[in-house]
Structure 1
């Protein structure tokens, strides 16, 4: 069984439409948006884990979530029996959810994803959801994720591709004018800079760079567009086009897989 076989069944057009509909609630109703995103992320992770481990569930696994923010993801993973550890450098993000970290179902550590305070090979799953585009050294983040993941475990790195329609985050499609220009335009319009400010908390990360890095590790087992239906996954293997249409790229790596890097868009059984 390929690691993505189970999740591919879940990756339907109906799921894509449902998630797209949830995005409009990110600002007016963050509990609804992040709750739905957390549930979908936990389901995706569970499917990938089962695909890699002969149908096993997440019960008893340790999940390290790099950039996990408030407790939405903690609750979603706890519901599946996993031990959740969230890493977040910004204390205001830790307390942005409906419950404080102290009242959540997981453990939380204030630290940078670029220097994780965890031992080598110490967790079963290391997850990073939409964080790589917010750090100046995204592949250093990826290397740290691989370092702390045990042999046979999974490192799941998902990030927003800069040239995709959501690359500008709250700046909308103005990022196609250039990141600095889009940030200046947003500031003039709203009277304050965007939360995700280009060059300081938002960076232009491409699909090609992520795939090149992942292949260079020798640990890549799958790469696919996170929110697309299964029939659209071949976009990942289309240079140029993927930068605009993949939107959010998922890289799945396993430290036990140290063979020849895979071709683009392929998956290893």
Structure 2
């Protein structure tokens, strides 16, 4: 079973590259973040034409939004409000084998890494804290995917020293993510298959005129799994070439293959 996660940054605007990716790689399940569309306007026909007939949506107009599109049966499970303001940032489903699949879009957190000066940063930390409390009570094998908006390791960013005070790589965010990982006994599948300090980026800013030449990447997108699911993972791939496609997202797809 191939499971893909991709912050698509508007699914309607980039439906062409989504279709291209699905044709070329044929994942069983696609988890999207930042779909930026209400459920009634989601481009369902494009996915159904490619065999993705099991679809669960949690959309929001112009902002946020998550979706799970599958070729295999899934059951709607939950939509947790870890943002505590009803933003569409999480959706979870159950696979037929009993494994849970949770798709999350963690807030970016603004530009200033200070809870008092920047309420968005506090919201991000609180979001991760709520996920941590949820992780403590997990009772079945679970796969957690999505845009975490945190690059935890020194080798997860292009320059550890220059980004220490930049939101997404600050010590307080890294500590919060570490506590989340410990709470659920999560295996970071990206680093399991590509151990640090191997280069492993999933995001490059639109601000760079030549993203490949500057290569100022960060690993913001992750796939984690608990016991009962992690041991079935057989590979993890980052599709860096998608960053050069027509009208690309600033994130690229990541995929883990499982042998259940």
Give the TM bin, normalised by the shorter chain. Answer: 0.3 to 0.5
Structure 1 or 2: larger strand share?
2
Q: What's the TM-score once normalised by structure 2's chain length?
A: 0.38
TM-score, with length taken from structure 1 = 0.38
